[in-house]
Amino acid sequence: MNQEDLVLVTGGTGFIAQHCILALLRDGYRVRTTIRAPEREMEVRTQLATGGMKAGERLSFVVADLTADAGWAEAAAGCSYVLHGASPTPSGAQTREEDWIQPAVEGNLRVLRAARATGVKRVVLTSAFGAICAGHTSMQRPFDETDWSDLSGKVWPYQKSKTLAERAAWDFIAREGGGLELSAINPVAVLGPVLGADYSHSIRMIKSMLTGQASPQVNTCVVDVRDVADLHLRAMTHPAASGQRFIATAGASMWMVDIAKVLRRRLGNVAGQVSLRVLPNWLVRLASLKNPSLKGITPLLGVNLNATSDKARRLLGWTPRPREDAIVAAADSLIKLGLLKPA
């Protein structure tokens, strides 16, 4: 491993991507990242500074969009590795599943073709736990990397898009990857410190709790974004990671009300608005009829989504921080950056 290697991180405005950039820069790598518009470069640099890193000339930018070919050959040129976390962002106007699925699948293939054409050694794909757990109503064991979402079940279009996009990536490698290697990271709910106002859906769960919203009966594993970034870097260079998927979770799953209890216990008066009330399932289903953002939650009500990261720990020596620390770090950063005010 040559730490002067150039690494492409796609989607540089993303929560996980920015923590990957921080980890790479700290390890001595040079980093190139993609953004959809040139004016977002300063936003990325500012958020990296919040994370303690003034990137300077060791970080460069290329404008590229997953829905078009332009820019991807330039982005991948000269790179030893690609960490591909960029994902098409739904506008809210999607009326068909295909509006979600086609951009996700074609985006993955666009990046893989550019990586193959420019001689990249390995791509690490940021997939999702949604490509593993969706559509299953019950499991007698924790989910592991052999599991795939059952698309014949009740699956939210986002989860279906992540499942089909990851499958398309593995099919590409098997059929026409040439010497290109692929690893996939499947994170559960990603918490930990935010760097700015552009953060993950999972962080919104913590924000909602801190501002007094009650918890639906949803079960989830959690992981710190810094540990997700660490796992990406391990999967990038470790010989055993080629051709493998890795679930990123800090431990056993928790009900959302248990996460609320952690906030109350660890943050004291700061968490005074956190509610320990659990919303009845019928009420969440009723509310989802008028609130589209709740539709993705309804198939998960009461479902145990426990998962194991034994594979990453065993093969790659990955040791994530405790799940409570990830929860508290997310809350602390939201408070410190003044992000609890209503959007």
Burial class of residue 239 in the structure, from the number of CB atoms within 10 Å of its CB (0-12 exposed, 13-18 middle, 19+ buried): exposed
> CA-CA distance, 117 to 178, in Å (whole number)?
10
Q: What is the pLDDT of residue 252?
A: 95
Total-model pTM: 0.94
Q: pLDDT tens digits, residue range 126-158?
A: 999 999 999 887 778 999 999 999 998 878 888
Q: Which residues are catalytic?
A: 162
Q: What is the pLDDT of residue 95?
A: 56
Q: What is the pLDDT of residue 298?
A: 83
Q: pLDDT tens digits, residue range 122-134?
A: 999 999 999 999 9
Tell me the longest C-alpha to C-alpha distance in the chain.
Answer: 57
Which residues of the chain fall short of a pLDDT of 70? Answer: 1-4, 89-95, 342-343
Q: What is the pLDDT of residue 173?
A: 98
Three-state SS sequence of the chain:
CCCCCEEEEECCCCHHHHHHHHHHHHCCCEEEEEECCHHHHHHHHHHHHHCCCCCHHHEEEEECCCCCCCCHHHHHCCCCEEEECCCCCCCCCCCCHHHHHHHHHHHHHHHHHHHHHCCCCEEEEECCHHHCCCCCCCCCCCECCCCCCCCCCCCCHHHHHHHHHHHHHHHHHHHHCCCCEEEEEEECEEECCCCCCCCCHHHHHHHHHHCCCCECCCEECEEEHHHHHHHHHHHHHCHHHCCCEEEECCCCCEEHHHHHHHHHHHHHHHHCCCCCCECCHHHHHHHHCCCHHHCCCHHHCCCCCCECCHHHHHHHCCCCCCHHHHHHHHHHHHHHCCCCCCC
What structural domains does the chain harbor?
6-336 (3.40.50.720)
Q: What is the pLDDT of residue 1?
A: 47
Q: What is the pLDDT of residue 302?
A: 83
